[in-house]
């Protein structure tokens, strides 16, 4: 028996009755056993595609590493096949000294995967909230944990319908409605946590792809669970006022650019959530520990500091490497009263002044921001035809070309010499406007002038050759974001829209096919 194992057993009874305690959620990316049930995903059929006992053991070891290092007292798990594999995971954890004496799991016989819970506190009143839209829909797991033996805390463990395979919003609204129905039946003083993979962005009401909108813009997490009030996300200031039925999403504790725990190629998203009611801010029983929410991200969960080190299935087989395509999230709770911290103030500023700012210490509001160009992750804005423009990169807010907005930001950065906003926390559309006077033309194209950085130029005519655009006796670097759009040398171009960006040197940037015309 290892020294670590002995120490952990010795302290197990101590930390059960100490505080604060940690509650976490982790989508482990398909943990299947080696017993064929007929419900497995194709790639997890036992002894096919290199899904063997040895491969499973690697997967179990990797999940155990994460859970041991995170060391949460309560862990909600998603994508667990069944009771058998949950028991195997519990045994693996016990062997390495991370003991979870209590567990629970759903048992939908029509679903390939279940949701589960591991706990170091005694669990009681284990229930399943069935979702009746489809037989395969995963139930919500409801479990009561007895904190310090006397405080009952209900955990609602979720894994909502994904957006793939007809995953329209009405499918997720079914989950939200079941939760609200159950929550409304509880005592008003009952403390609970909603957590898990909701397959929804924290601000889905602003960012929803319209192909999923079959509910006239009503969003399960925002409108049904009421993380939205008066068209603004419920913040800490509002939740502590004590309104029943609303929920605070802990993603709002982090900077905008840090609000992600899942990665699909280069797209980062906040699919995993911990939602809290006002009962966890009322200085009674159990309360949230302010600003304790975090994404668990040790170095080994990443490749090259950027890509999540997901479990690898490629070339029709398991490679036996990686962890999950999700990162765990967690928060701390205590039997001591919630401590309100001084709210971050908001100051009024301008884009011109942002170019002198390296780090934002308070929220900054920019009024009457005009969206000049919107191309995927890149949005170009300015406040008047004569002031400077700036990039908003990967905004979590929906900013439409030609719209005029009041926006609040919390983070700026410089990328290869290009100043950009990387955190927009709020946006309010004021009106729409004509953009003609906001664009620049060939006579303004002093491309090495730093004051023109991030401007949008229109209707430029010239010739493309070996990475350069020749126009008006100028030779200007020209970069196509999509390489396959790069024309042949000697092609006559009319550039309809170009962004004057910077990557090691000033350059014109073309984002997509609609931004230029081949003239020969």
Contact partners, residue 128, CB within 8 Å, separation at least 6: 106, 107, 108, 139, 140, 141, 142
Output the pLDDT for position 13: 47
Residues above pLDDT 70, as percent of the chain: 96
Q: How many CB atoms lie within 10 A of CB 364?
A: 23
Pick the CATH number of 440-518 from 1.10.1060, 1.20.120, 2.40.50, 2.60.40: 2.40.50
Report helix, strand and coil shares of the chain as percent, to nearest 5: 20, 35, 40
Mean pLDDT of 367-381: 95
Q: Which CATH code for domain 3-334?
A: 3.60.10.10
Residues above pLDDT 90, as percent of the chain: 77
Mean pLDDT of 164-189: 95
Residue 372 and residue 368: Cα distance in Å, rounded?
A: 12
Output the pLDDT for position 2: 47
Residue 454 and residue 316: Cα distance in Å, rounded?
A: 44
Look at residue 411 and tell me whether its pLDDT is greater than 80.
yes
Strand order across the beta sheet in which 248-249 lies = 123-129, 140-147, 151-159, 191-197, 272-276, 248-249
Q: Which residue has the higher pLDDT, 16 or 330?
A: 330
Q: How many CB atoms lie within 10 A of CB 520?
A: 9
pLDDT in tens, 17-51: 557 999 999 999 999 999 999 999 999 999 999 99
CA angle 77, 78, 84 (to 5 degrees): 80
Look at residue 58 and tell me whether its pLDDT is greater than 90.
yes
DSSP annotation of 222 reads I
Output the pLDDT for position 18: 55
Mean pLDDT of 11-16: 47
Domain boundaries, the chain: 3-334, 346-437, 440-518
Q: Which CATH fold topology does 346-437 show?
A: OB fold (Dihydrolipoamide Acetyltransferase, E2P) (2.40.50)
Confidence of residue 288 (pLDDT cuts 50, 70, 90): very high
Same fold: 3-334 with 346-437? no
Mean pLDDT of 389-418: 89
Confidence of residue 1 (pLDDT cuts 50, 70, 90): very low
Output the pLDDT for position 345: 79
Confidence of residue 460 (pLDDT cuts 50, 70, 90): very high
Q: What is the DSSP string of 80-135?
A: E--HHHHHHHHHHHHHTT----EEEE---TT-S-EEEEEESS-EEEEEEE---S-T
The lowest-confidence range among 40-44, 142-146, 226-230, 470-474 is 470-474
pLDDT in tens, 186-222: 999 999 999 999 999 999 998 888 999 999 999 999 9
Look at residue 10 and tell me whether its pLDDT is greater than 50.
no
pTM: 0.85
CB 50 within 8 A of CB 320: yes
Output the pLDDT for position 7: 47
Output the pLDDT for position 257: 86
Look at residue 73 and tell me whether its pLDDT is greater than 50.
yes
Q: CA 123 → CA 143, 234, 302, distances in Å?
A: 7, 30, 33
Look at residue 494 and tell me whether its pLDDT is greater than 90.
yes
Confidence of residue 112 (pLDDT cuts 50, 70, 90): very high
Q: Which residue has the higher pLDDT, 289 or 398?
A: 289
Mean pLDDT of 442-447: 88
Residue 335 and residue 352: Cα distance in Å, rounded?
A: 47
End-to-end alpha-carbon separation of the chain, Å?
77
Residue 269 bridge partners (DSSP): 262
């Amino acid at each position: 028996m290892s020294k670590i194992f002995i120490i952990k057993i010795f302290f197990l009874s101590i930390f059960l009755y100490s505080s604060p305690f940690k509650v976490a959620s982790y989508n482990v990316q398909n943990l299947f056993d080696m017993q064929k049930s007929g419900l497995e995903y194709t790639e997890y059929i036992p002894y096919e595609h290199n899904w063997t006992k040895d491969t499973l053991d690697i997967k179990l070891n990797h999940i155990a590493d994460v859970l041991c290092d995170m060391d949460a007292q309560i862990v909600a798990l998603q994508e667990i096949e069944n009771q058998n594999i949950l028991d195997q995971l519990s045994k693996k954890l016990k062997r390495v000294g991370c003991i979870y004496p209590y567990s629970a799991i759903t048992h939908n016989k029509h679903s390939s995967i279940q949701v589960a819970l591991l706990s170091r506190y005694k669990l009681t009143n284990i229930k399943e909230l069935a979702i009746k839209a489809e037989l395969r829909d995963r139930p919500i797991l409801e479990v009561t944990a007895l904190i310090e033996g006397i405080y009952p805390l209900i955990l609602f463990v979720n894994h909502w319908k994904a957006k793939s395979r007809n995953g329209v919003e009405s499918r997720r609204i079914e989950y939200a409605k079941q939760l609200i129905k159950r929550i409304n039946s509880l005592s008003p003083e009952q403390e609970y946590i909603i957590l898990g993979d909701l397959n929804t962005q924290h601000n889905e009401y602003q960012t929803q792809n319209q192909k999923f909108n079959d509910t006239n813009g009503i969003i399960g997490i925002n409108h049904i669970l009421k993380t939205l009030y008066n068209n603004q996300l419920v913040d800490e200031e509002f939740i502590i006022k004590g309104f029943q039925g609303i929920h605070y999403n802990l993603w709002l504790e982090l900077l905008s650019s840090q609000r992600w725990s899942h990665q699909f190629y280069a797209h980062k998203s906040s699919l995993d959530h911990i939602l809290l009611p006002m009962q966890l801010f009322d200085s009674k029983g159990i309360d949230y520990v302010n600003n304790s929410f975090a994404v668990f991200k040790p170095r080994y969960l990443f490749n090259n500091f950027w890509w999540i080190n997901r479990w690898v299935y490629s070339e029709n087989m398991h490679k036996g490497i990686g962890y999950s395509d999700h990162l765990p999230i967690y928060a701390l709770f205590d039997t001591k009263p919630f401590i309100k911290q001084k709210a971050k103030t908001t100051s009024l500023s301008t884009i011109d002044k942002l170019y002198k700012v390296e780090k934002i210490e308070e929220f900054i509001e920019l009024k009457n921001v005009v969206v000049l160009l919107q191309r995927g992750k890149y949005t170009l804005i300015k406040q008047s035809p004569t002031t400077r423009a700036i990039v908003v990169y990967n905004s979590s807010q929906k900013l439409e070309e030609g719209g005029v907005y009041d926006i609040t930001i919390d983070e700026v950065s410089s990328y290869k010499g290009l100043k950009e906003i990387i955190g927009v926390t709020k946006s309010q559309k004021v009106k729409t406007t004509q953009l003609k006077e906001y664009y620049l033309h060939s006579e303004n194209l002093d491309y090495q002038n730093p004051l023109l950085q991030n401007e949008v130029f229109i209707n430029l005519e010239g010739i493309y050759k070996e990475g350069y655009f020749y126009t008006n006796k100028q030779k200007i670097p020209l970069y196509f974001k999509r390489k396959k759009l790069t024309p042949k040398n000697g092609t006559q171009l009319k550039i309809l829209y170009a962004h004057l960006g910077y990557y090691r040197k000033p350059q014109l940037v073309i984002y997509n096919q609609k931004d230029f015309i081949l003239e020969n």
